[in-house]
Chain A
Amino acid sequence: MGSELSLVLCGAAGQGVQTVEQLMVKALARSGYHVFATKESMSRVRGGNNSTEIRVSSKPVKAFVDRIDVLVPLNGGIRANIWRRLAAETLVLGDREELKDEFEGKPGRFVDVQMLEMARKTGGAVTANTVAAGLLCALFKVDYALLKDLLETRFSAKAEILAKNLLASEKGYAEGLALLEKGDVDLRLPKARKGSRPVVLDGHTAVSLGAMAGGCNFVTAYPMSPGSGVLAFMARNAVRFGIGVEQVEDEIAAVNMALGAWAAGARAMATTSGGGFALMEEGISLAGVTETPLVIHLGQRPGPATGMATRTEQADLELALYAGHGEFPRVLLAPGDAKEAFDLSRLAFDWADRYQVPVFILTDEYLLDSVFEEKGFRVDGKKFSHRFIQAKPGYKRFKITGNGVSPRGVFGYGDGLIRIDSHEHDEAGHIEEDFEMRERMQLKRLLKLKLLEKAALPPKVSGNPDDGNLVLCWGSTGPIVEEAFKRLRQGSLCLVHFSQLYPLNAAVQDLVAKAKRILVVEGNSTGQFARLIRQATGRKADDLLLNFRGHQFSVEEVVYRLESFAKGGQQS
Chain B
Amino acid sequence: MKPSDFDVDAVDLSWCPGCGNFQILSALKEALSELGLLPRDVVLVSGIGQAAKTPHFMKGHIIQGLHGRALPVATGVKAANPTMTVLAIGGDGDMYGEGGNHLIHAIRRNPNLANLVHNNMVYGLTKGQASPTSPVGLKTPVQVEGVFSEPLNPLALALSQGASFVARTFSGYPDLTREIIKAAILHKGYSLVDIFQPCVSFNKVNTYKWFKENTVILEENPNVHDRGKAMELALASPPYPLGILYEDATDRRTFEDQFQAYRETDEPLWKRSPRFERISAFVEGLRA
Binding site for B on A (CB under 8 A): 25-26, 29-30, 196-201, 205, 209, 212-218, 220, 237-246, 248-250, 252-254, 256-268, 282-283, 286, 290, 373, 376-377, 379-381, 384, 386, 388, 410-423, 429-431
Contacts and interface: CB of A to CB of B under 8 A. Distances in A.
Contacts of A421: 56, 62-64
A30 B288 contact: yes
A249 B80 CA distance: 19
Interface of B: 39-40, 43, 45, 48, 53, 56, 59-66, 69, 71-81, 83-84, 101-102, 104-105, 109, 255, 259-265, 268-276, 278-280, 282-284, 286-288
B100 to A, nearest CB: 10
Contact of B268 (A246, A248, A265, A388): A265
Contacts, number: 228
A218 B63 contact: no
A199 to B, nearest CB: 5
Contacts of B288: 25-26, 29-30, 197-200, 373
Nearest to A216: B274
B96 to A, nearest CB: 15
A248 to B, nearest CB: 7
B261 A244 contact: yes
Contact of B65 (A259, A264, A429): A259
Contact of B260 (A29, A244, A411): A244
A261 B260 contact: no
13 contacts: A199-B288, A240-B275, A241-B274, A249-B101, A256-B65, A261-B76, A263-B73, A264-B268, A376-B284, A380-B280, A381-B276, A417-B59, A420-B65
Given A196-B287, A411-B61, 7 more contacts: A213-B276, A215-B273, A220-B76, A252-B102, A253-B102, A261-B269, A411-B43
Most B CB within 10 A of own CB, among A215, A412, A417, A422:
A412
A219 to B, nearest CB: 10
Contacts of A266: 76, 79-81, 269-270
A241 B265 CA distance: 11
Nearest to B263: A239
B282 A256 contact: no
B126 to A, nearest CB: 15
A429 B102 CA distance: 26
A415 B40 contact: yes
Contacts of B80: 218, 244, 260-266, 268
Contacts of B274: 212-217, 241, 381, 384
Contacts of A216: 274
Given A200-B288, A260-B63, A379 B279 contact: yes
A263 B63 contact: yes
A282 B269 contact: no
Given A239-B260, A410-B270, A205 B286 contact: yes
B62 A261 contact: no
A198 B283 contact: no
A268 B259 CA distance: 14
A237 B66 CA distance: 32
Contacts of B40: 414-417
A413 to B, nearest CB: 6
Contacts of A431: 53, 56
Contacts of A25: 288
A263 B77 contact: yes
A283 B78 CA distance: 18
Contact of A265 (B259, B262, B269): B269
Contact of B81 (A245, A253, A254, A265): A265
B128 to A, nearest CB: 22
Contact of A218 (B48, B261, B265): B261
Most A CB within 10 A of own CB, among B272, B276, B279:
B279
A31 to B, nearest CB: 9
Contacts of A259: 65, 73, 76
Nearest to A381: B276
A257 B75 contact: yes
- 6 closest A-B pairs by beta carbon, nearest first, are A265-B270, A260-B76, A29-B288, A244-B261, A238-B260, A264-B80
A199 B39 contact: no
B260 A429 contact: no
A35 to B, nearest CB: 8
Contacts of B282: 209, 237, 240
Most B CB within 10 A of own CB, among A25, A237, A379:
A379
Contacts of A29: 288
B259 to A, nearest CB: 4
B60 A417 contact: yes
A28 B84 CA distance: 52
Most B CB within 10 A of own CB, among A215, A220, A417:
A417
A283 B83 contact: no
Most A CB within 10 A of own CB, among B40, B73, B109, B282:
B73
Contacts of A213: 274, 276, 279
A413 B104 CA distance: 31
Contact of B61 (A237, A262, A267, A419): A419
Most A CB within 10 A of own CB, among B69, B80, B84, B255:
B80
A377 B283 contact: yes
Nearest to B73: A260
Contacts of B264: 239, 242
A106 B79 CA distance: 59
A253 B105 CA distance: 10
B76 A258 contact: yes
B20 to A, nearest CB: 21
A409 B94 CA distance: 27
Contacts of A283: 66, 69
A218 B76 contact: yes
A256 B72 contact: yes
A431 B13 CA distance: 11
B105 to A, nearest CB: 4
A412 B73 CA distance: 16
A493 to B, nearest CB: 34
Contacts of B45: 260
Most A CB within 10 A of own CB, among B48, B78, B269, B276:
B269
Most B CB within 10 A of own CB, among A25, A217, A218:
A217
A306 B232 CA distance: 43
A256 B76 contact: yes
B273 A384 contact: yes
A254 to B, nearest CB: 8
B77 A260 contact: yes
A244 B270 CA distance: 13
Contacts of B284: 199, 376
Contact of A412 (B62, B261, B270): B270
Nearest to A200: B288
Nearest to A249: B105
B56 A418 contact: no
Contacts of A256: 65-66, 69, 72-73, 76
Contacts of B275: 212, 240-242
Most A CB within 10 A of own CB, among B105, B260, B275:
B260
A195 to B, nearest CB: 11
B283 A257 contact: no
A153 to B, nearest CB: 11
A246 B109 CA distance: 10
A391 B261 CA distance: 25
B65 A422 contact: yes
Contact of B79 (A30, A218, A249): A218
Nearest to A342: B283
Nearest to A252: B69
A260 B272 contact: no
